[in-house]
Chains A and B, each alone.
Chain A
Amino acid sequence: MAEPVALKLTQKDFKSDQEVRWCPGCGDYAILAAVQSFMPELQIPRERTVFVSGIGCSSRFPYYMNTYGMHSIHGRAPAIATGLSVSRPDLSVWVVTGDGDALSIGGNHLIHALRRNVNLKILLFNNRIYGLTKGQYSPTSELGKITKSTPVGSADSPFNPLSLALGAEATFVARTIDSDRKHLQSVLRAAAEHQGSAFVEIYQNCNIFNDGAFETLKDPSTRDEYLIRLEHGQPITFGADGQRCVVHPPGGFGLEVRETASVDPADIVVHDATVAEPAYAFALSRLPGLDLRNTPIGVLRQVQRSSYDERVREQTETAKAKATGSPEDQLAGLLTSGDTWTIL
């Protein structure tokens, strides 16, 4: 077979002719630009790329991508994308969803797609608010959040999306931030390479209804103190001068943050995204406090497990390999199977 010719694709090729309609300043713009400029790198023809979304501001995303796309219904994108992915292994299928879309109305489909390990790249734009419906609290809003629907503060505790995904034993779990294009693209790259479900939480600013939700993670004066940038194979240290680190305290079952100077360097956890047991990545996902201090970003978990798509296809292929004759002949055989009798 001849060496495939490199596809000459640019960011522009992935822009559709539709006018982008998010509020000026919305974090969704930055994510769109990052995705559009990253896609050419994958060398997947546009026609083999499909974006499926639910409903929400974030879910408008497919309209702006010059690929195949479906803007479906609230919360159901993972289910629809599962049918597409399983029946069309030749496609690269991406799901774009919001915190309400994925974790409230569509929570069931999300966890089941992850448990099955369907070959989907799932991008969850988490702005910790319902944007499209104009500002109600969401399943990721902090307890006590004051919104239109919770004038004296919300009474329910939020989900940690990464913990949830890990609880469903997702094989790829990562987090990134709308404003950090380089980091965002590095995570997308790893997600795209993953076989099976890749779950990526993207912190996204809704400057209209929840402005500054992630400001401490973005502001140059605080971000180094707040963010833990995970690198596979590297000791987990952070802070402007690496003055903090993550250790596994003896006797405990979680991970903890310590002053680097106070621990034996050998005790600093070396990040390994490939640890089979999800408990390690889960412990990482539990590090941030309510104020977002100690927020890990990057790939928490990346393990290999056969995908639902592969397993289903293998069953079909095995059955087909055993069959003989044309489909019509096989059908005739099927119709006449069992007890038959003939009347002359």
Chain B
Amino acid sequence: MTKQVRQLDRVVIRFAGDSGDGMQLTGDRFTSETAQLGNDISTLPNFPAEIRAPAGTLPGVSSFQVHFADYDILTPGDAPNVLVAMNPAALKANIGDLPRGADIIVNTDEFTKRNLTKVGYAVNPLEDGSLDGYALHPVALTSMTIGALADHAVSKKDAERAKNMFALGLLSWMYSRPYESTIRFLERKFASRPELVAANIAAFKAGWNFGETTEDFGVRYEVKPARMRPGTYRNITGNQALSLGLVAAGVRSGLPVFLGAYPITPASDILHELSKHKRFGVTTMQAEDEIAAIGAALGASYGGSLGITTTSGPGVALKGETISLAVALELPLVIIDVQRAGPSTGMPTKTEQADLNMALFGRHGEAPVAVVAPRSPSDCFFAALEASRIALTYRTPVILLSDNYVANGSEPWLLPEVDSLPDLRVEFATEPNGDDGKTFLPYLRDPVTMARPWAIPGTPGLEHRIGGLEKADKTGDISYDPANHDFMVRTRAARIEGIPVPDLEVEDPDGDARTLVLGWGSTFGPIGAACRALRQRGLPIAQAHLRHLSPMPANLGEVLKAYDRVVIPEMNLGQLAHVVRARYLVDAIPYNQVSGLPFTAAKLESMLEEVVKNG
């Protein structure tokens, strides 16, 4: 039977199943095949909060969403066009996100009375007509997989576990994906157990062939490669990109990297990743708590390393006192906050941008630091380099605000040439800097950067003492002099304000927008997608996105004043809006969502449409 082939420009698929069903891996493989084909991609996993929730229950549902298109896309997609539901729980947990008409592929073998009852289905939704508005594809995934592997020398359990490969094979067929990378992956993954390689490949092919032969799937789809800039790409998550950025900062500065960290979701993966890169002179220390983690990083910075600490909001709260010390010591230090929903333990696996206030203001005394935020998964690489550059050049703590959405989301990354990365080399002080040629003045500043000399222990002749007590200008001696304290407080503020950061760029293709939407961090994708959609409908809108939150770009005030209306969408209750209103006296309109979920482009689009049309 020859099947009809239909062209699509974009598709969003969500793979959902029990935590034990291997949905993350299935999603990853599908993403990799899609990347090989050359589509633009954006992905987002959704992990259950519990590590091992009881099988078949709603809390145990794990999903992975992949959006791919023949043009460049900005988000993992608002709503799936296709849901793969491996059990009743996965169907129940995700059906609400599905638009009518979407394809649903279900594993009918799991729709037993017991499993249905577990999630509160009184009647089987596959039979009661409740899914009539969807294109339902019932597939006996488990039994067909087991059947396909009857001749394989694997246990029934292993055969059953290969059902995710059957599903992957089917979806790969449906969307005409090249599957060589999956075959290679399986060969690598099960290298020590050839029987599993064979079984998983067989399950994959059975799924593919099922698509080819069954009448239920009458159409096959194609999504043509996107026009992307030439170069070598890889798909990367935010946490991976951030880790590589830190390794790159070590290489480009020529300094050893020291990471002090205490495990916390969703930041732990950075610790895991960096602990693999010791050959680059990266030392990772899993400390006894967040305070020790940042303390050790600061101690390493004092000794001439690039000191880094990675954590999430609760950890930043604990680190506050040490960040203040680093402000007083004027030493480089990079603090990475992968934000999650708070307060307190909140929702550790959900996203939020509510630590901006803490980053900007959350310390005792006047303790200004630099703050930067990445806008997308691959941008985490460059944000990490930028945070390191500021820390090293200006001898200051820098807070990098990532969040769960960019940290776990992924997208294709056009790999940069190493030579094109910023040169982060710094010079340690080696000579006395006093007028007499003998004295060393640890707080004599560089006239351009306002940074004090970085005189590391081991340097003869520069022995000096630093500490948290207020220091006299230049000499660094303990000082309680009122005028000196006033001067030092203002100097510490001025040196952060004086860090040169690039001007804010505004995207307003036709130059006729009267409304500006201003964002920061991970909202870039949904805001960008919403703006594009509005423009396509002839509604002009300007978009600007902040990478630097402290100091802010010098032209920000001007940009804000050039528009009639400024809208600031944030996943908090208006923290950036508050700062912008206070600093620039602009009547910015906050738009806030704190559901633990990223904005959908559609929601932003309708909100912005209101503003553009009605002012």
Query: A and B bound?
Result: yes
- B437 at the binding interface (Cβ < 8 Å): no
From the candidates B36, B247, B296, B463, name the one contacting A339 in the complex (CB within 8 A): B36
- A144 at the binding interface (Cβ < 8 Å): no
Which B373-410 residues have C-beta < 8 A from chain A?
Answer: none
Distance (whole angstroms) from the CB of A71 to the closest CB of chain B: 3
- A217 at the binding interface (Cβ < 8 Å): no
From the candidates A55, A66, A83, name the one contacting B295 in the complex (CB within 8 A): A83
**B467: A residues at CB distance < 8 A:** 62-63, 69-72
Asked if residues A71 and B468 are in contact (CB atoms below 8 Å), the reply is yes
Asked if residues A73 and B416 are in contact (CB atoms below 8 Å), the reply is no
Asked if residues A331 and B247 are in contact (CB atoms below 8 Å), the reply is yes
Asked if residues A72 and B303 are in contact (CB atoms below 8 Å), the reply is no
**B417: A residues at CB distance < 8 A:** 332
From the candidates B244, B287, B293, B463, name the one contacting A46 in the complex (CB within 8 A): B463
Q: Mark B21-55, 1 if CB is under 8 A from A, else 0.
A: 00000000000100110100000000000000000
Interface range on chain A: under 10, 10 to 19, 20 to 34, or 35 or more? Answer: 35 or more
- A8 at the binding interface (Cβ < 8 Å): no
- B231 at the binding interface (Cβ < 8 Å): yes
Which A47-89 residues have C-beta < 8 A from chain B?
Answer: 47-48, 50, 52, 55, 62-63, 65-73, 76, 79-88
**B231: A residues at CB distance < 8 A:** 342-343
Distance (whole angstroms) from the CB of A20 to the closest CB of chain B: 12
Distance (whole angstroms) from the CB of A307 to the closest CB of chain B: 14
Contacts between the two chains (Cβ within 8 Å), count:
203
With A71-B466, A331-B418 as known contacts, state yes or no: A91 contacts B457, CB within 8 Å: yes
**B278: A residues at CB distance < 8 A:** 315-316, 318-320
With A319-B279, A327-B280 as known contacts, state yes or no: A47 contacts B468, CB within 8 Å: no
Asked if residues A76 and B292 are in contact (CB atoms below 8 Å), the reply is yes
In whole angstroms, how far apart are the Cα atoms of A45 and B258 in the complex?
25
- B322 at the binding interface (Cβ < 8 Å): yes
Q: Mark B231-268, 1 if CB is under 8 A from A, else 0.
A: 11111000000001001100100101010100000000
Distance (whole angstroms) from the CB of A331 to the closest CB of chain B: 5
Asked if residues B229 and A47 are in contact (CB atoms below 8 Å), the reply is no
Asked if residues A47 and B300 are in contact (CB atoms below 8 Å), the reply is no
- A338 at the binding interface (Cβ < 8 Å): yes
Asked if residues B463 and A316 are in contact (CB atoms below 8 Å), the reply is no
**Which of B231, B467, B478: most chain A CB closer than 10 A?**
B467
Chain B contributes a number of interface residues (CB within 8 A of A) equal to 72
In whole angstroms, how far apart are the Cα atoms of A228 and B477 in the complex?
42
From the candidates B38, B260, B279, name the one contacting A322 in the complex (CB within 8 A): B279
Asked if residues B305 and A72 are in contact (CB atoms below 8 Å), the reply is no
Look across to chain A and name the residue whose beta carbon is closest to the beta carbon of B417. Answer: A332
Distance (whole angstroms) from the CB of A311 to the closest CB of chain B: 11
Q: Mark A324-342, 1 if CB is under 8 A from B, else 0.
A: 0001111110111011111
Q: Mark B212-241, 1 if CB is under 8 A from A, else 0.
A: 000000000000010011111111000000
**B457: A residues at CB distance < 8 A:** 47-48, 50, 68, 84, 88, 91
**B35: A residues at CB distance < 8 A:** 339, 341
From the candidates B233, B248, B461, name the one contacting A331 in the complex (CB within 8 A): B248
**A344: B residues at CB distance < 8 A:** 230
Q: List 7 A-B contacts (CB under 8 A).
A: A52-B299, A87-B283, A323-B280, A328-B251, A328-B418, A339-B36, A342-B233
Where the two chains meet, the residues of B that have a C-beta atom closer than 8 Å to any C-beta of A are 32, 35-36, 38, 181, 225, 228-235, 244, 247-248, 251, 254, 256, 258, 260, 277-283, 285, 287-289, 291-293, 295-305, 307, 321-322, 325, 329, 415-419, 457-469, 477-478
Where the two chains meet, the residues of A that have a C-beta atom closer than 8 Å to any C-beta of B are 16, 18, 45-48, 50, 52, 55, 62-63, 65-73, 76, 79-88, 90-91, 108-109, 112, 312, 315-316, 318-320, 322-323, 327-332, 334-336, 338-344
Further 20 A-B residue pairs, CB within 8 A, beyond A71-B468, A316-B282, A327-B254 = A18-B477, A46-B463, A48-B458, A62-B465, A68-B463, A69-B466, A72-B468, A79-B296, A82-B295, A83-B299, A85-B299, A86-B258, A87-B304, A91-B457, A108-B289, A319-B278, A327-B280, A334-B280, A335-B248, A336-B415
